[in-house]
Structure 1
Amino acid sequence: MSTATRTPATPSGRLRARPEGVRRASPVTAVAVLVVALLVVAAASVLLGARWIGPTSLLDPGSPTHEIAAVRLDRTLLGLAVGGALGLVGALMQGLTRNPLADPGVLGVNAGASLAMVVAISVMGVSDIRAYVWWAFAGAAIALVLVHAIASVGRDGATPVKVAIAGAALTAAVTSWVSGLLLVDRKTVESFRLWQVGTVAGRGDEVLLIGLPFLAVGAVLGLACARTLNALALGDDLARGLGRHVVRDRLVVGLATVLLAGSAVALAGPIAFVGLIVPHGVRALVGPDYRSVLPLSLGFGAVLVVAADTVGRLVLPPGEVQVGIMSAVVGVPVFLHLVRRGRIGAL
């Protein structure tokens, strides 16, 4: 099946998709579907689990299940925030690097946060989850900046191929350092393993409040970059011809990426596939215009993480499967389906 082709950009930097045998949903339809999906998964996340609770439990402090409902509500809010950030940052990374496989795991963000966490626990003796967030955020941000700096060396600057290679190289190096530190410190393994698998359980609202300012600023910056990414998708020369300041635009998108990716990984650990598959799914639904791709990626990323977390609570009661594992279980077949349908690569 053929994919949509693009016509030249308008002076405003707008991209138009010209369908060739592919039916797209209108943005209004996509938003309506998103709103319904958000309401359904949020309600299911609060009500479903090892124990069913009634809708009134959350509003009635005297209910025996009120505390369970309150904990699930905190977990749902964190899942919505983290999922939205991952979906949006995946779209931003893919647009910035023009690499269809870009996401926090590929570009070294997860590895940088993991190394910072291990250093914090084993070397600095950090034991408070609220302190973990700051260390993981710093590690993720440093990794993103370092990958771009390494890729920028040379005549052509940070090309998509060089960014991908730099991210893969940094991930391999940092992962080996993390493994080495864990081998010599068993106590660190016990503290690190629950964060490493990726989870929104047991965090509490205070953890979300720490990351919320970074998430909010990153989301506002990221959503404001739609016209920028539409122009950059045409190549740097054409973007300059449209009046864009390419270096400045890349710095703004990069700042939004650092804030979103660093915060999401810090709050919930390395949750895979969300930032990779959600933007491709959104493009298959509405086309490549980033004015639609960015907000819908944010929304459907939130839906995917909360849905995966809810399903993870239902598959093995009374235990649960963490959202980092469930997102991979869901993400792999979806990713393979997109590859089979030729959706991957249509940036």
Structure 2
Amino acid sequence: MRDDERGCQVAVSTGTPAAHARRATGLVAALGLLAGAAVLSLLVGSEPVGIGQVLRVLLADDRSDAAVIVHDLRMPRTVLGICVGVALGLAGALMQSLTRNPIADPGVLGINAGAALGVLVALVGFGIGTFRGYVWFALLGAALSTVLVYAVAGRGPGAGAPVRLALAGTAVGAALASCAEGIVFLNPKSFDEYRFWIVGDVAKPGMAVVGQLLPFLAAGVVLALALGHRLNALALGDELGGALGVRVVRTRVLVGLAVLLLSGIATAAAGPIAFVGLAVPHLAGRVTGPDQRWLLPYAAVFGGALVLLADVLGRVVLPSGELRVSIMTAVIGAPFFVVMVRRGRSA
């Protein structure tokens, strides 16, 4: 075991075996919730499909109308919703731990705004309209915004402090969002393409996008979960974390890289989806406490479940038509945010 991992072991109490067993049992229950949300996503829609039909479609060579609905429409939507929710839930948990700010999400470092601007440049400047093409622009935009935030926050007294990161990220994100609006204003033809993407949704992309997304998601998830020990130590403060053997700067860079990957690919695949990265870490923390080794996997599972449930609600809330998942997450997340602030949970 490396020195930084030894130090992290003493940073947060490991808890009793009974506590570990409760958390493990809770994680299994959370996975059950995610599985239930996935089943609902396959069943519910403008054309209801029975559970028996879904099983026949999944287990047999069924060529009925139900097979078209499940295979071609709802299965890709369900899998993409899980991937996007996992990415946003993990990214939000990492951001709140990194900045020590309970109302932080990936937008704090301007990552979502950078990714959105990158996609817009790909759509307008290069005529690239596929995920395989513009995901690289999204990641580049997210990376440049992160570097810019760290450059701004790394100057002067208190360089690199969490509060300075949050303030710099907010300013950079606002500037990048203004640039995107300016591009659309100067090039009205781009609006028709951009408006379908900017309102986050998981219905339009197909299974091909999911396959292209998975390698990026896997890399981000593995990196995020591997940082749990170090984040526990950094929660005690940079000085004490360093004394425990954690390489503070390297850990922050790795956390930023994980957030960049997770948030960048989620934004590229489904557009901006708000409040998932904000609300999910709080829900996970109420179950696990501050231990990041448990909070991160819980946040991933809860994130996937929240996006799927929001998508399902969006399909049935109107008598005709659907509400996009980003609208539903805002409807769910905004009251949560207000209640959290009123209870004094915000910093």
Is the TM-score greater than 0.5? yes
SS in 2 for 1:211: helix
Partner residue in 1 for 2:80: 78
Contact 2:95 2:104 (C-alpha < 8 Å) held by counterparts:
yes
Q: Deviations over 1:240-259 (max 9, x none)?
A: 11111112222222221111
Amino acid across the alignment from 2:82? L
Aligned match of 1:193 in 171, 191, 195?
A: 195
Q: Which aligned runs of 4 or more in structure 1 are off by greater than 6 angstroms?
A: none
Matches within 5 A, 1:46-61: 46-55=42-51, 56-57=53-54, 58-59=57-58, 60-61=61-62
Contact 1:27 1:286 (C-alpha < 8 Å) held by counterparts:
yes
Contact 1:231 1:239 (C-alpha < 8 Å) held by counterparts:
yes
Structure 2: unaligned runs, 5 residues or longer: 1-5, 16-20
Aligned match of 2:12 in 12, 15, 19?
A: 15
SS in 2 for 1:65: helix
Structure 1: unaligned runs, 5 residues or longer: 1-8, 19-24
Distance 1:86 1:238 in 2: 29
Q: Deviations over 1:197-220 (max 9, x none)?
A: 111111011112222111101100
Q: Deviations over 1:32-79 (max 9, x none)?
A: 330221111000001101110123343342222111101201111011
> Which stretch shows the higher mean deviation, 89-98 or 54-63?
54-63
Amino acid across the alignment from 1:61? D
Contact 2:116 2:268 (C-alpha < 8 Å) held by counterparts:
no
Contact 2:106 2:259 (C-alpha < 8 Å) held by counterparts:
no
Contact 1:140 1:265 (C-alpha < 8 Å) held by counterparts:
no
SS in 1 for 2:279: helix
Amino acid across the alignment from 2:9? S
Distance 1:150 1:213 in 2: 31
Partner residue in 2 for 1:340: 342
Amino acid across the alignment from 2:63? G
Q: Deviations over 1:77-119 (max 9, x none)?
A: 0110110010011111111121222212232112112212222
Q: Deviations over 1:153-189 (max 9, x none)?
A: 2242211111111111111211211111111222211
Cα 1:323–1:104 change in 2 (3 A) is same
Distance 1:67 1:14 in 2: 52
Distance 1:337 1:306 in 2: 23
Matched, 1:40 2:41: no
Let me know the Cα RMSD of the aligned residues.
Answer: 2.2
Contact 1:17 1:287 (C-alpha < 8 Å) held by counterparts:
no
Matches within 5 A, 1:1-347: 12-16=9-13, 26-55=22-51, 56-57=53-54, 58-59=57-58, 60-70=61-71, 71-345=73-347
Q: Deviations over 1:104-162 (max 9, x none)?
A: 22321121122122222222222334323332232122222321222112242211111
Contact 1:272 1:327 (C-alpha < 8 Å) held by counterparts:
yes
Amino acid across the alignment from 2:179? W
SS in 2 for 1:68: helix
Would you say how many aligned residue pairs link Structure 1 and Structure 2? 333
